[in-house]
Structure 1
Amino acid sequence: MIDIRLRRTIRFAPMALVPILLIASTFPGEFHVPLSYWLLGCASAAIFAVGDRAPLAASITLSALSVPMFAAQAWGVSELVPYLGAVALGEVALRSSRASRIFAAVVWAGALVLGSWLDHPDILWRWATVVSTALFVGLPLLLGLYVRSQRELAATYGQRAADAEARTATAETSARSAERTAVARELHDLVAHHMAAIVLRIGVARHVIGGVDPRVDEVFDDVHLTASDALADIRRLLAALRDPSLDEVPLVDPDAVRSEIFDAIDRTRRAGYEVKAHVDADISELDAISRLSLLRVVQEALTNVMKHAATASAVNLSIVRKGAGFSVRITNIGVKNSPPSGEGYGVVGMRERIALLGGQLATAATVDGWELDAWIPAAADAAPATPGHTL
């Protein structure tokens, strides 16, 4: 904001400065600035004020207006007014292309030479004229080019800093994700297996010593339920540890997840694909982890469609209730290059996460396209102790 105000102040400063210079050069009875000089000076100030919109045109116009001012009989500080053309040349060097800089410099040099000739024809070919012309052309160009190089250098360093910050953030995110994955696997190996064994052994114990004191059965029921709930919580925790995006609370809401699914479908349609979708309205039966996994599967599959399938090809998507969970099937006809192998990082991650929930995900190439089949349990405790759902 301060930079913008400063630039505006500089641009409109000549509107106030030029009249002051002209008034300062007026001495009643001795010297007065001609009316034509006033008009040319004020016009130059006005053109400079709006010259940021077209620097080259402003520079050429100011150079043309400076010629009659150089030729006029001026005195004192009023002689500085025509040199607004030099300031305009510096702005061309700062903001315009090389060809524009050369053209503006030639026009301004021509204005200086022509003005000197009209004012004093006898001194045109003196070294002083050559030096002053080179000075008033070279200095604005050098100053403009210097400021331009400093801006470009600052922009380069700023971009490098932003890139470095982005790389650092990406590295931190990758490290956190890797750590989450490691913790999830450790929990799966060390805890989930033992909890499943406890649930199984309690069931065996109840069967072996059944018919004893009802209070013993009640204790077994309570331990079995507690262990089953703990196993379900561990499965949810595993999925959460493997997906940092669970911090996105709105996605846990069933309506938000459904909306996100249809947004992904709409994006695919806008990309030029014919998507036919059938989504079961009752996905609210899915728990938070399963709902998010369902959304990620749909997004990943549709992303693969846009990567590998030819535009305008047909895509069929269905999400329907199946047993204690939901079946997701996405097929595509018309693969432009090679069909996705199913071993990309996105698909592999989805497969592992759904396996932790007790579901399954499979991808395969068909004769004329590609398909994905998945089964996601409505809740972790609805999943069987051993995998084996039929897709």
Structure 2
Amino acid sequence: MTTTLERFPGRRITATDVIMVLALLGTVTLGASIAIPGVTQPPEDWPAEALAAVSCLAQLRARTYPRGALVVATVCTVITVVLGYLVSPLLLAPLMIALYRLAAGTDPRTTRVYGAVTIAVVVTAAVFDRPTDEMLLLRTIGPVLWLMLPLVGGSRDRLRRDYMDSVQARAAYAERTREEEARLRVAEERMRIARELHDVVAHHMAVANAQAGTARHLAPTHPEQAQKLLDELSATTSSALLELRATVGVLRQTGDSDTDSLEPAPGLNRLSELIATCETAGIEVTVTTDGEPRPLSPGVDLTAYRIIQEALTNVTKHGAGKGARVGLSYSASRLLISVTNDAAATTPSVPGGGYGLMGMRERAHSVGGDLYAGPRPDGGFEVTTALPLHPLAPDEEPHSRAPGADRKEDEATA
């Protein structure tokens, strides 16, 4: 158990410190009593012992006030040397402890300044006390070497402590960075999964809902047409299940999974199937192409398909009219896509809307494109996006913006 003597709140003197001071006092007392034949010593030892007591007591506060403790120890040591006591490591013990505490607990500049001044003062006192003494070499070179030892040892311990602190700080920073990166990756993965499932399910469910409503309306008067719509409804839901199964398979795929059984990601080559599905829900879609079609990277091809799919889904769910237009315009480096309908859109009745537009924007931005979605000046709704033929690096700026992208984006929901 550690016993502490508390003089000030928060500043503790431990039993170890007291034992060290008593040991130092005994060491200095022994050093003051040592006599070398032929070297004159003061007749009494008590002056050295009294100075040693003051110097040792100052070391109780060396951790808190290293500069003050060093100054007290230096003054006491200089007085002891001037009184004629032999300069030995035993006599210099309190000063050596003070120098060690200073070097270990302060900055290098403070250590150099205080250390140099202390050594210079002690050596000067020894020289001026007995300038012609036969022990002059021992009284000058000896203190320099003895007092350098605690300075070197304390500086080494300070450097080692600083190194360990920096290692721990870097490790803590790396751990925080790993945790933040892991959370970011989890969030991105959740958004990707939500976007994929929304794109797969929302379109088919919107078309299925329209087909079911139309079939219910036609059943009493036109049972043959209602039966045809029900057959198409069955095909729509089957297609939704197949595409959902393929999407889940991709999401669960590992590095060594067999990908041969997975359905390829849809692209503009399946645009005709998408248009046909919308037409079964009563939406007449017109497709126009400007420029020579160019090959797209798989990511951009999927993005273009999903944006058109979501835009037509919005027309199916919210459009008051029964017509939509899809425009594809190819340039040397970009593909411009526009999906418009003439009639004013209605506000969705299903809560939690807005994810469709959010997903379209995220998809466009993920490949370096831009997207605008909002009402048209002459009525209806418009979705316009400009996509690069190949995805841009994250730090690259798009070459051009989609028409209307600089306008304030409408807060319409999807």
- What TM-score does the superposition give when structure 1 sets the normalisation length? 0.47
In proportion to residue count, which structure has more helix?
1
- What TM-score does the superposition give when structure 2 sets the normalisation length? 0.44
